[in-house]
Amino acid sequence: MILARIIEPVWATIADPELSGARLLLAMPVTPDGTPVGKPLVAVDRVDAGPGDLVVILREGGSARMMLGQESTPVQAVVVAVVDGIESEPSKS
């Protein structure tokens, strides 16, 4: 699972029939402090996330397909939670 910030919706005029009605979002992976890391990715939205939302994305293909209930769906990433806040304990040096 990864932490990411939703950038914007993605529109596809032609999509696999198993993705019919699925909402796609462009997301940028981030560190817990919000620093972008890596490259943006496209994920299927299951939690009604929107631009600017901090989310948890399940990015393991098999598990992502199980979330959608179809083993043959061509999906690698699914938004599974909107993050309300992050708490961390101070590091002990």
d(CA 28, CA 14) in angstroms, rounded, equals 24
DSSP 8-state class, residue 63: H
Q: Which domains does the chain have, with CATH numbers?
A: 2-82 (2.40.50.220)
pLDDT digits (tens, 9 = 90+) for 42-69: 999 999 999 999 999 998 867 766 666 6
Q: What is the mean pLDDT of residues 5-25?
A: 89
Distance of CA 32 to the CA centre of its chain: 15
Question: Which among 41, 39, 37 has a CA at the least distance from the CA of 79?
Answer: 41
pLDDT digits (tens, 9 = 90+) for 29-43: 999 999 999 999 999
pLDDT value at position 9?
97
Res. 88 pLDDT band, cuts 50 70 90 = confident
